[in-house]
Amino acid sequence: MQTIIVLASLVSAALCIPAGPPAYGHEENYDTPAAYAYQYGVADDYSGAKFEQNEKRDGYSTSGSYRVALPDGRIQIVNYHTADAYSGNIADVTYEGTPTYGPGPARAVHAAGPAHLG
């Protein structure tokens, strides 16, 4: 009886073993040209962070823009595009607003000390 139980458990264990490597789904093909579009934005009043970006790509043709709030109060806007694999990336950078700066560093004034005559 024990022999039958041992043989039955070995047969059931053998039937549960997969025949070959596990399958993880279909294999990705990375030879096709990239095609996507996205956009996002952040506006955090607590930290003052404010920026946004968008981009669209179809093969090598890519275009997009982003905006960033600079510490001096201006907004930097970058529009960029790439036409193909050979022309490179072309960016157009502009600014909105007028820069403002806080007070400059305080100028140290030293009192004149006694003159030493030698």
Nearest 10 degrees: CA dihedral of 26, 31, 36, 41? 90
CA angle 58, 59, 62 (to 5 degrees): 60
Quickly state the pLDDT bin for 104 (edges 50, 70, 90).
Answer: confident
25-80 tens-digit pLDDT: 777 777 888 899 999 999 998 988 888 999 999 998 999 999 998 989 899 999 99
Supply the pLDDT for residue 21: 64
d(CA 93, CA 63): 14
Hey, where are the domains in the chain?
38-100
Start-end of H helices in the chain: 2-16
Supply the pLDDT for residue 38: 95
